[in-house]
Amino acid sequence: MNVVPDTSVVIDGRVSATIEDGQFEGATISVPEAVVAELEAQANDGLDSGWDGLSELQRLAELADEGRIDLEYVGDRPNAIERGHASEGEIDALIRDLAEELGATFLTSDIVQAEVAQAKGLEVEHISPEVREVGTLTVEEFFDDQTMSVHLRAGAVPKAKRGELGEMRYEEIADEPLDEETIDEYAREIVDGAKESHDGFIELSEPGMKIVQFRDYRIAIGRPPFSDGIEITAVRPIAQTDIEDYEKADELKDRLLERQRGVLISGAPGAGKSTFAQAVARFISDHDYAVKTMEKPRDLQVGPEITQYTELAGEMEKTADALLMVRPDYTIYDEVRKTDDFEVFADMRLAGVGMIGVVHATRPIDALQRLVGRVELGMIPQVVDTVVYIEAGEVDTVYDVRTEVKVPAGLTEEDLARPVIQVTDFETGEPDYEIYTFNRQVVTVPLTDDEDGPGSESGVDRIAKQEIEREIRSVARGYVDVDLKSQDKAVAYVEDDDISSVIGKGGGRITDIENRLGIDIDVRTHDENPNYGSGGGGSGGGGAPSGGQTGELVEPEITSRHIVIPVDGSHGETVEVQAGGDYLFTATVSRGGEIQVSRGSAIADDLERAIDRKDPITVVPS
């Protein structure tokens, strides 16, 4: 009897199993060179499937040495073109052709291969991939009731994050470091368990990285060259809550059930966002809403009535298209991070699907601001009407988001009325922020002093000052300083030489600026500014406000890749770079007497905007 196995059944280790149970004992096992080539390529890519298959070939060699089978390798190795078209079935076709040529039984655990081979008249033995009950994995033994994650690495002592939500401790959980052989054994056990158990699956398999979902555990396995050593990170939710366990639960429940909404659940890493999302998912599912999830990886702990989807063909956009055919009432989108994620979230919400997104944010407003620039401003309240901020496992803040046409807070002219997104504290009913377009810029204005402390300049005052300064600098050559006296009055201090150009003939230019901004502006020289320091004056705007050190005025050079700031005689020193007297960043001067900032960074963007506004750029010893 002659048997030709394909790659799938060799990787599964089922060829030797069928020999040992007597089915093919004494047969000639003809292994195609195409199978060896595939296994070798997979092993070279760091894939466990390649190593598993090579181990099976070694086992077959041992059975041949014992006289239980005859083993031979047949056929030619596939060429580069055939290997390049392996996903289209070229290698499979080579293996089937060999089985037909030898008149052999074709052995496979791939149902597609089996169907094609039977259609071509081959004698086929299809062995279903084995699924068996898997006991406790070794990595599970590192967990206790308060362990959220376990971190294992070759050459390091095992560590874990333990404690309550918001109060996690990162601590050692063993006395000795793990050697590479031991952690490699743990990794293979995890992957094998995911393959063999109906409770597990491999979420991601790339050279150097596997992500496994096994029961309640999400396990990431990193290997060289992706990581510099074998590493295992296993995460498990430590709490499963009901929405009733949270404060503000009654209001939130009514809000979620009233109609389909757009909700962002935000918070810092480890704050309990996913735990709350799971509670929300179970609650709305229990109230006759069809609920699905979009996750990568799939690690939300939800009931069997909620189907969990991941990327379709590597794209969440395709997952969204499929879900729109399913038409869920609500979709939980776990980990909305990139621009593509926000666009998919917005598209589904605007298509009428209730959307609940999980977003990393350090403040409640940050979650909403991440939509700015990614979604048209006027559409934001239609995409997200509720923001829930989680801190230390509790609902800290709930925002209601809606649009109203009004004069923004802090402005007085009726002709400045515009669409304003009002972000209101759901509990107090008081607006905390307004988001609107001001002079072609989208601004987020805090309406309380909480962010900057009592007595600090309000957000709308800062915006007003920036806009006045920008307008005045567009016609002034030197340094400009603005003092906001009230909501409708300001004083602009400029160089003596700039007075006439700022005011304009008959006051026409300053009147135009006042009309555009809706505020009265009194133009004066720096000498009349009581806050102006002794280092000021002179042409070019070299002065700086008092209360800080007088800086060296510099002229940055913008190249294709950098912004270069020359700093004479200060190499090796730490300095502050300021624009118009406002702090931008701290840097160390190079030996060549300059500071280089890579273009495209946030710091470079701020610096370029300051240069465009003609702000004086100064360097002050730190």
Say how far apart CA 594 and CA 577 lie, in whole Å: 12
Q: What pLDDT shows up at residue 415?
A: 62
User: Letter for the amino acid at 379?
Assistant: M
DSSP string for 501-546: HHH-GGGHHHHHHHHHHTSEEEEEEGGG-TTB-TT--STT----BT
CATH number of the domain that residue 359 is part of: 3.40.50.300
Q: What pLDDT shows up at residue 458?
A: 55
Structural domain of residue 89, as residue ranges?
Answer: 2-126
CATH number of the domain that residue 504 is part of: 3.30.300.20
Judgement on whether residues 208 and 343 belong to the same structural domain of the protein = no
Cβ-contact 478, 495 below 8 angstroms: yes
CATH number of the domain that residue 60 is part of: 3.40.50.1010
Task: Name the stretches of the chain with pLDDT < 50.
Answer: 451-456, 534-549
Judgement on whether residues 332 and 301 belong to the same structural domain of the protein = yes
* Residue 430 located in a structural domain: no
* Residue 538 located in a structural domain: no
Judgement on whether residues 112 and 188 belong to the same structural domain of the protein = no
Condensed to tens digits (0 to 9), the pLDDT of residues 523-545 reads 999 888 877 653 333 333 333 33
Going across the sheet that includes 307-309, the strands are 307-309, 291-294, 330-333, 354-360, 262-267, 386-391, 394-406, 418-425, 431-438, 441-446
Judgement on whether residues 187 and 265 belong to the same structural domain of the protein = no
Residues contacting 254, CB < 8 A, separation 6+ = none
| Helix (H) or strand (E) run with residue 386 in it | strand 386-391
Say how far apart CA 279 and CA 261 lie, in whole Å: 16
Coil, helix or strand at residue 560: coil
Q: Which of 274, 179, 277, 167 is nearest to 218 (CA)?
A: 274
* Residue 353 located in a structural domain: yes
* Residue 420 located in a structural domain: no
Q: What is the DSSP letter of 360?
A: E
Residue with tokens 């793990």: 178
Q: What pLDDT shows up at residue 205?
A: 83
Cβ-contact 492, 514 below 8 angstroms: no
Judgement on whether residues 15 and 35 belong to the same structural domain of the protein = yes
Rg of the chain taking only CA atoms, in angstroms: 33
Kindly report whether the peptide bond that precedes residue 297 is cis, defined as omega within 30 degrees of 0: yes
* Residue 426 located in a structural domain: no
Judgement on whether residues 214 and 259 belong to the same structural domain of the protein = no
Q: What pLDDT shows up at residue 475?
A: 85
Judgement on whether residues 118 and 78 belong to the same structural domain of the protein = yes
* Residue 410 located in a structural domain: no
Q: Indicate the residue among 217, 235, 253 that finishes a domain.
A: 235
pTM check: above 0.85 = no
Cβ-contact 443, 470 below 8 angstroms: no
Condensed to tens digits (0 to 9), the pLDDT of residues 15-49 reads 998 898 888 889 999 999 999 988 888 888 767 77
Structure tokens given for 115: 């169907």
The CA angle 207-208-212, to the nearest 5 degrees, is: 95
Judgement on whether residues 208 and 166 belong to the same structural domain of the protein = yes
Q: Indicate the residue among 182, 200, 235 that finishes a domain.
A: 235
Task: Give how many domains the chain has, as a whole number.
Answer: 5
Q: What pLDDT shows up at residue 542?
A: 38
DSSP string for 183-252: HHHHHHHHHHHHHH-TTEEEEEEETTEEEEEETTEEEEEE-TTTSSS-EEEEE-------GGGSTTHHHH
Judgement on whether residues 350 and 249 belong to the same structural domain of the protein = yes
Q: What pLDDT shows up at residue 452?
A: 45
Judgement on whether residues 385 and 483 belong to the same structural domain of the protein = no
Say how far apart CA 56 and CA 62 lie, in whole Å: 10
Q: What pLDDT shows up at residue 85?
A: 53
Q: What pLDDT shows up at residue 173?
A: 93
* Residue 450 located in a structural domain: no
| Helix (H) or strand (E) run with residue 365 in it | helix 364-369
* Residue 428 located in a structural domain: no
Judgement on whether residues 465 and 569 belong to the same structural domain of the protein = no
Q: How many CB atoms lie within 10 A of CB 563?
A: 21
Judgement on whether residues 29 and 105 belong to the same structural domain of the protein = yes
Q: What pLDDT shows up at residue 538?
A: 37
Q: Indicate the residue among 468, 496, 528 that finishes a domain.
A: 528
Structure tokens given for 212: 């496994």
